[in-house]
Amino acid sequence: MKKRILGIDPGLATVGFGAINWQRSQGKIQDTTVQMVDFGVIRTSADDNMVQRLCILFDDLHMLMEELQPDLVAIEKLFFYRMANTIVVAQARGVLMLVLGQRKLPYVEFAPPQIKQALTNYGKADKAEVQDAVMRELDLDEIPKPDDAADALAVALTASFQL
């Protein structure tokens, strides 16, 4: 069985994405492989108004889905820092959910502690430990940059562990 999993780290200024291919041989858990396909970010400018920024996200997310053709999308759940920041991220996340709905793509969501637990076996791991786990799991020579892209790969890997 094969699946392409797209991890998303939602935001308004920066949306991280990371795609992996997951493959398992005929029901054998020990014969599972994971390979990094692509990673990066979608950025919007603070110089643009909110409507323009959400439209950019909408268009770019559609292009991303078209390009990567995911079978499953994994999204990091909102983590509440400051109320003002949470509201704008929630608006950007709403655009993401709309795109997924229009494309009829299945998705799963994980809270930050779930992602940390899945990758490091410690739900309060720091960012460096998670990034090291991403590098190790995907057999990479260096940590993907920027951090939002590495976070998105961590979300995708968390989803792959559930398959």
| 109 part of the active site | no
Average pLDDT over residues 100-120: 97
Give the DSSP H/E element, type plus range, for residue 50.
helix 50-68
Q: Provide the sign of the torsion angle of the four alpha carbons 101, 20, 42, 147, taken in this order.
A: positive
Asked if residue 29 has pLDDT above 90, the reply is no
Catalytic residue, from 47, 139, 142, 148: name it. 148
Whose CA is closest to 151, among 121, 122, 118, 103? Answer: 118
Whose CA is closest to 96, among 22, 9, 27? Answer: 9
| 148 part of the active site | yes
Give tens-digit pLDDT for 128-151: 999 999 999 999 999 999 999 999
Instruction: Name all domains of the chain by residue range, CATH numbers in brackets.
Output: 2-161 (3.30.420.10)
Q: What angle do CA 46, 49, 54 make, to 5 degrees?
A: 90
| 66 part of the active site | no
Q: How far is CA 162 from CA 50, 59, 159, in A?
A: 35, 30, 5
Catalytic residue, from 9, 60, 137, 151: name it. 9
Give tens-digit pLDDT for 82-99: 566 788 889 999 999 999
Average pLDDT over residues 16-43: 90
Whose CA is closest to 7, among 64, 88, 84? Answer: 64
Catalytic residue, from 60, 76, 137, 151: name it. 76
